[in-house]
Amino acid sequence: MDLEKAKAFLSRNSLTIIVGLGVLISLVLIVTTPTFKECIHSNQEAYSHYPPKEGAPSFIGIAYWCSGTVIKESAEAITALATLFIGIFTLTLWLATERSGEHFQVTERAYVKLSHTPPGAMFTTDLGSQMVVVQLQVKNFGHTPAYVTDVYLDVRVLGEGEVLPAIPEYPEIEDRERVEGFLVAEDLFYHTVTMGVTQAQWETAHTQAGRLIVMGYVDYRDKFGAVHRGAYAREYDGEKDTRNLYATDKAWKKRNNLPIITQARYNDDLVIKPV
């Protein structure tokens, strides 16, 4: 039995284990008292001359009667022991309730994630500047409502030899539109973001070693009060925009030129502020 199975077994059978231990410890304490031993010895001597057929009590009967004697004489100690076990049981019940509450929050809370509609990244020119346009889908995949407090999206261009940092960085964007909303379970809304790149970045992105990265996040608060950040990171794949790779217009329109980035932390759901 591994550790997780052992924990699950103890959690399911905590009451039975506590009661069993209580009975066992009580019996040990009773039979080891001087009063019990003296009572057993005295009664065995008193009935030793009686033939079994003449009604002499058995050892079990004597032990049962002697146990009652010990209980009467040790009422205060037994009350204290019972109180101790009640306290242990109450603590166990409280811990089980806490674990149950944590499990409920994890399974029932909101999970809001960003995705994008086809084709992913679209490109336009505005007053001579290159623009990258992405229509985001903001959806609650959880079981309870979520309060979206912010949606952030930016474009990065990496040249030859450049890599993404181990921890995502989200520099502040001047005059950025903040998006808020309320999402019930399985509810969603769309948000279109237009991002500009310089001519030098545009040329770098279209070299063989260049990488155009679209990354951001959605911040949201679940109904239990915790604040989360659902990260989003995709990398533009220009080959997906080659028309002759698709047999039909329908397949062409449903293409995805922004495959997911698999680097750790870039698509995680993180707790920013716990309950």
Instruction: State mean pLDDT over 256-265.
Output: 96
Return the bridge partners of 217, or none.
152, 231
Model-wide pTM > 0.75: no
Cα(119)–Cα(84) distance, integer angstroms: 66
DSSP code of 57?
A: P
- Per-residue pLDDT tens over the stretch 14-34: 667 766 776 677 666 666 667
> Confidence band (pLDDT; 50, 70, 90) for 152?
very high
The residues spanned by each domain of the chain are 3-108, 112-273
Cα(16)–Cα(14) distance, integer angstroms: 6
Sequence-separated (6 or more) residues with CB below 8 Å from residue 154: 170, 171, 173, 195, 214, 215, 216
Q: Which CATH class is domain 112-273?
A: mainly beta
Using the structure block, give the residue that is written with the tokens 């979206």: 148
Residue 1 reports pLDDT greater than 60: no
